[in-house]
Amino acid sequence: MRVTDDAGVKTSGKAVPAKSAAPAPRPREADATRRRILDAAKAEFARLGLAGARVDAIALRAKANKRMIYHYFGSKEGLYVAILDDAYGAIRAAEQQLKLDDLAPEDAIRKLVTFTWNYFIRNPEFLTLVNTENLYRARYLKKSTVIRELHTPLIEMVRSILERGVAAGTFRPGLDPVQVNLTIAAVGYHYLNNRFTGSIIYDRDLNAREALDERLAFNIETILRLICRD
């Protein structure tokens, strides 16, 4: 960015036209444009689903020309797959930041349940994107080659915590890390995903701050009771 700091003296003469009536200063930032399209698309797909999202609306929100979407992603579906890759990549990356091996097994579980919960709260688009993809029975995820490679180091993390807990005598032996991890996701996912209909059905504001805090505490309790020795 600071390369032509001294107003293009060194490089070429035509740098910085500076004419106020010029047709339009058209900056060319391929990566930035691509990124803006991805961000806009994530928001639109998350808000309206694949069928409900509009390519024109994505272009408008991204402040990009619609043609650029087809240039970078080929089609609406190609863009959707890119968003999926991006969303799964982001959560896997966040999981890698967790340093659970340093913690006592019980604390590691508490931290993991809390992380999962907070991730869903801070990235609500993840929930609706996953829903959308399941509506299509994972048709698009199957196409993505990136995701299979990410697989789930998380499962190995959970396995490791469970083993340490069993060794320490605090956890029950024989628990399947996949079932445990699915349950950790479940108690957060279902509540947060269905909090809108839930608030009506149960006649209670499930979105209220206290309700959210209460649910996280309840979820931690649920998971610890599932895992810990009697």
Residues found near its own copies in the complex (CB under 8 A) = 47-52, 88, 128, 130-135, 137-138, 141-142, 147-148, 151-152, 155, 176, 178-179, 182-183, 185-187, 189-191, 193-204, 214-215, 218, 221-222, 225-226, 230
Distance, in Å, from the CA atom of 50 to the CA atom of 130, rounded to the nearest integer, reads 11
Find the part of the chain contacting DNA (CB under 7 A) among 73-81, 147-155, 176-184, 217-225.
73-81
> How many chain residues interact with DNA (CB under 7 A)?
24
> Looking at residue 4, what DSSP letter applies?
T
| List 6, 18, 19, 29, residue binding DNA (CB under 7 A) | 29
CA distance 111 to 95: 11
For position 40 contacting DNA by CB under 7 A, the verdict is: no
111 binds, among DNA, its own copies, none (CB under 5 to 8 A by kind): none
Kindly state the smallest distance separating residue 75's Cβ from DNA, in Å.
Answer: 4
Nearer to DNA, 77 or 205 (CB): 77
Question: To the nearest whole angstrom, how small is the minimum distance from the Cβ of residue 43 to DNA?
Answer: 15
d(CA 96, CA 101): 12
Cα distance between residue 213 and residue 186, in whole Å: 17
Residue 152 contact, options DNA, its own copies, none, Cβ 5-8 Å cut-off depending on partner type:
its own copies
Nearer to its own copies by Cβ, of 11 and 194: the residue is 194
**Dihedral sign (CA 95, 98, 99, 100):** negative
19 touches DNA by CB under 7 A: no
In the block, which residue shows the tokens 């009536």?
Answer: 21
CA distances, 196 to each of 9, 98, 118, 169, 190 (Å):
59, 30, 18, 41, 11
CB 80 within 8 A of CB 45: yes
Please give the structure tokens belonging to residue 209. Answer: 């701050």
2, 26, 122, 209: which one contacts DNA (CB under 7 A)? 26
Contact 187, 225 (CB under 8 A): no
> What are the residues binding DNA (CB under 7 A)?
23-30, 32-33, 53-56, 64-68, 70-71, 75-77
